[in-house]
Amino acid sequence: MAKRDPRIDAVAASDLASAATLASLIGTLASKGLLSDQEVRDLYENALLLLETHQGTEPEMRHVFEAAREVIEAQLRP
């Protein structure tokens, strides 16, 4: 069995920490009335657009971008 590259865990942990912090920030701003429901929706829609425009054409990364889109799309569901 190949040894797991520790950098993968570091990148994944960093990404999870960033995502959790951003989700907390958006939720806090919305609960304080600093972002309307439409503004929160716009944030997630813009995030989807950024993913779509920056995803590239590398087939081995397609599943990563699809998973990221699914996470953001879940935030847009009522």
Residue 7 has a pLDDT of 87
Q: For residues 56 and 62, what is the distance between their CA atoms, to the nearest angstrom?
A: 9
Q: What is the pLDDT of residues 9-61, one digit of tens each?
A: 898 899 999 999 999 999 999 999 999 999 999 999 999 999 989 887 888 88
Closest-CA residue to 26 (of 12, 39, 45): 39
Residue 12 has a pLDDT of 87
Q: For residues 40 and 25, what is the distance between their CA atoms, to the nearest angstrom?
A: 11
Residue 57 has a pLDDT of 80
Residue 30 has a pLDDT of 96
59 and 27 Cβ atoms separated by less than 8 Å: no
For the chain, which residues make up each domain, given as ranges? 10-76
Res 8 pLDDT > 90 = no
